[in-house]
Structure 1
Amino acid sequence: MTRQPPVRAEYQRDLAPLNDLPLAVELPLTTRLWSQAWLRKLVILAILMLAWEVAARWQGNDLLLPSFLQTAAAFWDGLVTGELPAKVAISLGTLLKGYLLGVVLALALSALAVSTQFGRDLLGTLTSMFNPLPAIALLPLALLWFGLGENSLVFVLVHSVLWPMALNTYSGFLGVSDTLRMAGRNYGLKGLRYVGLILIPAALPAIVSGLKIGWAFAWRTLIAAELVFGASSGKGGLGWYIFQNRNELYTDRVFAGLAAVIIIGLLVEGLVFATLERLTVKKWGMQR
């Protein structure tokens, strides 16, 4: 004889309405403000500036460590006189040429690598050889080959951008799902159309990451190269500005030049790349 489970009688329980409760609880003002990322970053910057000012006053030697206020005054003076914007314009003009050329070459090399076995072997061999090589180490050869001109700087910038960008892009291509690959093949896409319409959109998070890494490498390589290149040619951008003021013992202007390098890096990261990610990979749900 099998036992049947007891049958419980159904019942309905009336709940009290929630009319008296607010639909949403307003958070305190401090909590709402602290949830803003820009405000948290400003607080961090303010703490760093305060620590800088305290350390400079405690050290008591303007030649070795000028205070934050002295550096800010030198930075403002460079803006008013137009010297600092002119140096920034020279550096950014050179940077864009080398950066864009490096990105184009990296995309072409990655497309070749994902399409042919020879391209994969070529990319693997070249990146193993040249990726560990510091770009600034090629500056003497660049000066010998291209002379004292902008082409030497563009050469080392291409080297600094090409290899990390190519590696990131190729890794992104390899991560594209087989479903998307087969969909592209079913539509008859081949060659550059297959790379441009299937692989690049699917690998866009890795490509954007490569763009950011390439930018960081190119920016710091340019400043380092200008320290040598500017001293050799008698002109240059921010790197030459820093080098020249260091020779003349204007330490506050040296820090002002370094501050300009940092500010430009923050603006490019926070405006250009953040906007690019927001309009593409984040909007399309490919990245959080």
Structure 2
Amino acid sequence: MSETLTIRPEYERELAPFTAAPVERPLPWQSRVLRQGWLRKLLILIALAVIWEVVARVQDNDLLLPTFGATARAFFDGIADGELPGKAAVSLSVLLQGYLAGIVLAFVLTTLAVSTRIGRDLLDTLTAMFNPLPAIALLPLALLWFGLGKGSLIFVLIHSVLWPLALNTYAGFRGVPETLRMAGRNYGLRGLRYVVLILVPAALPAILSGLKIGWAFAWRTLIAAELVFGASSGKGGLGWYIFQNRNELYTDRVFAGLATVILIGLAVEGIVFSSLERLTVRRWGMQNG
């Protein structure tokens, strides 16, 4: 018994015009403005300045806490007479030397760690020994070994940068997918070329995190060390500026020096490291914005 197939006639369904669909309304200007990250951070800084001004006026003791206005005047006076820029240049020149030396040593250690078993044992042992040790605790030894001057500062800066950067870099190397490792070996890459061409690009987010942590450790270690060096030798950068004005009870200048330290930190974080992340890991899709 055969069944009769019924062919249904074709038909077209008319769709509603596109213009009739609901159109999403644009966000209010307040919401669009607040989506700007730099503006949100600026508003936070303004709020902190207002709170500072109110608390200082309520306390009414410039020796303990000067107002934000008084600190701002001391800051711009220090900029105008060239004292603050000069002290900042001294600090940054020493910091750059110690920071770069720490980066080179960290790269050497991590390269050995991923290349040989003895290198891995060496890195694990050294980081377990020295990473918990505060860099400023080595300052007395630095004074004995290198004397008063730039060498002692660079020594403690290398210690503050080396271990956190080496740990982050090594953790990034260990997190590289095995497929990338195999691809590098298939191309015949070994030793330094294998590290530079395969491991470093894949571990770049962890390396940048280590660079930022090392920078923060080095910057605060330098300021603390300069307080001691300033008291000993009468020379130094921003740390000496803060120490000297504290002795002379110019509290507004002390806060101006601290504000300079903070502003330099914000500038390095917001310009240098943000630009590196934007040009590398974010551009390559290795990190979300």
Give the shorter-chain TM-score range.
Answer: over 0.9
- SS at 1:19 equivalent: helix
Q: Distance in 2 between matches of 1:119 and 1:248?
A: 51
1:13 Cα deviation after fit: 3.9
Q: Distance in 2 between matches of 1:132 and 1:50?
A: 38
**Any residues of structure 2 matched to 1:139-288 within 5 Å, and which?**
139-288=139-288
Q: How many residues are treated as equivalent by the alignment?
A: 282
**Any residues of structure 2 matched to 1:94-173 within 5 Å, and which?**
94-173=94-173
1:53 Cα deviation after fit: 0.1
Q: Distance in 2 between matches of 1:117 and 1:146?
A: 33
Q: Distance in 1 between matches of 2:238 and 2:246?
A: 12
1:20 Cα deviation after fit: 5.0
The share of aligned pairs that are identical, in percent, is: 74
Residue 32 of structure 1 pairs with residue 36 of structure 2? no
| TM-score normalised by L of structure 1 | 0.95
**Do the aligned partners of residues 15 and 229 (structure 1) sit closer, same or farther apart at CA in structure 2, a change above 3 Å counting?**
same
What whole-Å deviation, never above 9, does each CA across 1:101-125 have from its counterpart, x for those lacking one? 0001001100100110000100000
1:21 Cα deviation after fit: 5.6
Q: Distance in 2 between matches of 1:283 and 1:21?
A: 35
1:23 Cα deviation after fit: 5.8
- Could you tell me which residue of structure 2 aligns to residue 48 of structure 1? 48
1:230 Cα deviation after fit: 1.2
Unpaired segments ≥5 residues, structure 2: 1-7
1:24 Cα deviation after fit: 5.6
RMSD: 1.6
Amino acid at match of 2:139: L
Q: Distance in 2 between matches of 1:221 and 1:203?
A: 27
1:27 Cα deviation after fit: 1.9
Q: Distance in 1 between matches of 2:9 and 2:267?
A: 68
1:12 Cα deviation after fit: 5.3
- Could you tell me which residue of structure 2 aligns to residue 3 of structure 1? none
- SS at 2:61 equivalent: coil
| TM-score normalised by L of structure 2 | 0.95
Amino acid at match of 1:142: A
1:31 Cα deviation after fit: 1.1
Unpaired segments ≥5 residues, structure 1: 1-7
What whole-Å deviation, never above 9, does each CA across 1:51-76 have from its counterpart, x for those lacking one? 00000000000000000000000000
- Could you tell me which residue of structure 1 aligns to residue 4 of structure 2? none
**Do the aligned partners of residues 9 and 143 (structure 1) sit closer, same or farther apart at CA in structure 2, a change above 3 Å counting?**
farther
